Amino acid sequence: MSLHGKAALVTGATGGIGAGIAARLAAQGARVLAHYRTRPPDDPETLAVQADLREPAEVQRLLDAAVERLGGLDIVVNNAGVQPVRPLSELTLADWREVFAGTLDTAFLVTKAAAELLGPGGSIINIGSIEGTLPAVGHAHYASAKAALLMHTKAAALEYGPRGLRVNAVSPGLISRPGLDEAWPEGVASWREHAPLGRLGTPEDVGDACAFLASDLARWITGQNLVVDGGMSVVPAW
């Protein structure tokens, strides 16, 4: 699963899942550029660029910086997104548009621009969610955006396949982060009780899935959604 000689851009990469993806790609030998919008990386040695990916000009600036600083581009991971919680009955159009702009529009703009730079064998990976197929209460806007992202993945795979580009998605389940047990103890306990593998995921679990899809081991895989959820999606709902 070596990525030696590959150059990778990871959006939303300075914390949580994004940081885990960036670290895993680097561990497999890739040169990695981490994107951030508001929070710079904790490690000052991390190669990072700030950009607001809701703006096409900012997207192009980021990709130009990736090519310049990495010496090319082979892998793009669209991880940037937002996940506010609000009941559907209380959602405003502004709330809805904010989530779609930060989650779906960003991936659309980065994918379009990156496809003009990636050569044959290039890989684009969109970070979805299990909520793209099964929503949670208070996440109508988020789940809808992730569902649209999964279809965007398939559409991009269809249209960019003739160029030799592969486009796939990784959909994580509940991923551990500092403070989650304290903030949502009942949810964490329920997940651990019901998930077949009996634990929450880690950013590294998601990163390994991305490293696989970006590698030559996945050279004939495109348009797919790899679910990384410890088996929760197979648990009966009754």
pLDDT, residue 11, reads: 98
Measured CA to CA, the distance from residue 6 to residue 232 in angstroms comes to 33
171-224 pLDDT tens trace: 999 999 999 999 999 999 999 999 999 999 999 999 999 999 999 999 999 999
**61 vs 54: CA distance, rounded Å:** 12
Question: Which residue bears the tokens 């209380």?
Answer: 90
Beta strands in 52-147 (DSSP E): 75-78, 123-127
- Which of these, 50, 63, 79, lies nearest to 116 by C-alpha position? 63
Structure tokens at 110: 């980065």
- Give me the catalytic one of 100, 108, 142, 191: 142
Half-sphere exposure of residue 225: CA atoms within 13 angstroms, side-chain side: 23
Is the pTM here over 0.75, yes or no?
yes
Q: Establish whether 142 is a catalytic residue.
A: yes
pLDDT tens track for 53-88: 999 999 999 999 999 999 999 999 999 999 899 999
pLDDT at 238 over 80: no
Q: What is the pLDDT of residues 102-143, one digit of tens each?
A: 999 999 999 999 999 999 999 999 999 999 999 999 999 999
The confidence score (pLDDT) of residue 227 equals 98
Mean pLDDT of the chain: 96
Half-sphere exposure of 79 (CA within 13 A, CB side): 28
* Architecture of the domain delimited by 7-221: 3-Layer(aba) Sandwich (3.40)
pLDDT of residue 127: 98
- Please state at what angle helix 56-70 crosses helix 106-115, rounded to 10 degrees: 50
Annotated domain spans of the chain: 7-221
Q: Is the model's pLDDT at 22 over the cut of 80?
A: yes
